[in-house]
């Protein structure tokens, strides 16, 4: 077995560029076009795979609801406090 490669963190310029791409606001036209674009078979398979994983991980409706509540609480705690 080989040693795992040591991964260095990306440089700040790369982080800033990726953040700008990820947080970019779409125009109304770009958003509408993305909604109307047909789903590829690859996208469909990926979504089905994620759904299957989620259903295995949280097999009951109660577990799914608890997962959603935990995710919401985590998201809410990440928001900056007002004032």
Mean pLDDT by 10 residues, the chain (83 residues): 74 94 94 94 96 96 96 91 68
Which of 37, 36, 39, 66 has the alpha carbon at shortest distance from 54? 66
Q: What is the pLDDT of residue 50?
A: 96
d(Cα 19, Cα 21) in Å, to the nearest integer? 5
Residue 23 DSSP class: T
Q: What is the pLDDT of residue 13?
A: 95
Task: Tell me if 26 sits within 8 A of 34, measured CB to CB.
Answer: yes
- What is the pTM assigned to this prediction? 0.55
Question: Cα-Cα-Cα-Cα dihedral of 70, 71, 74, 76, to 10°?
Answer: -110
Q: What is the pLDDT of residue 15?
A: 94
Q: What is the pLDDT of residue 83?
A: 54
Q: What is the pLDDT of residue 74?
A: 94
């Amino acid at each position: 077995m080989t040693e795992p490669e040591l991964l260095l963190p990306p440089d700040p310029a790369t982080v800033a560029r990726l953040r700008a791409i990820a947080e970019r606001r779409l125009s109304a036209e770009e958003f509408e076009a993305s909604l109307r674009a047909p789903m590829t078979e690859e996208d469909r398979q990926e979504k089905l795979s994620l759904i299957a994983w989620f259903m295995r991980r949280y097999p009951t409706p109660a577990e799914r609801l608890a997962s959603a509540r935990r995710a919401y609480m985590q998201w809410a705690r990440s928001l900056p406090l007002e004032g």
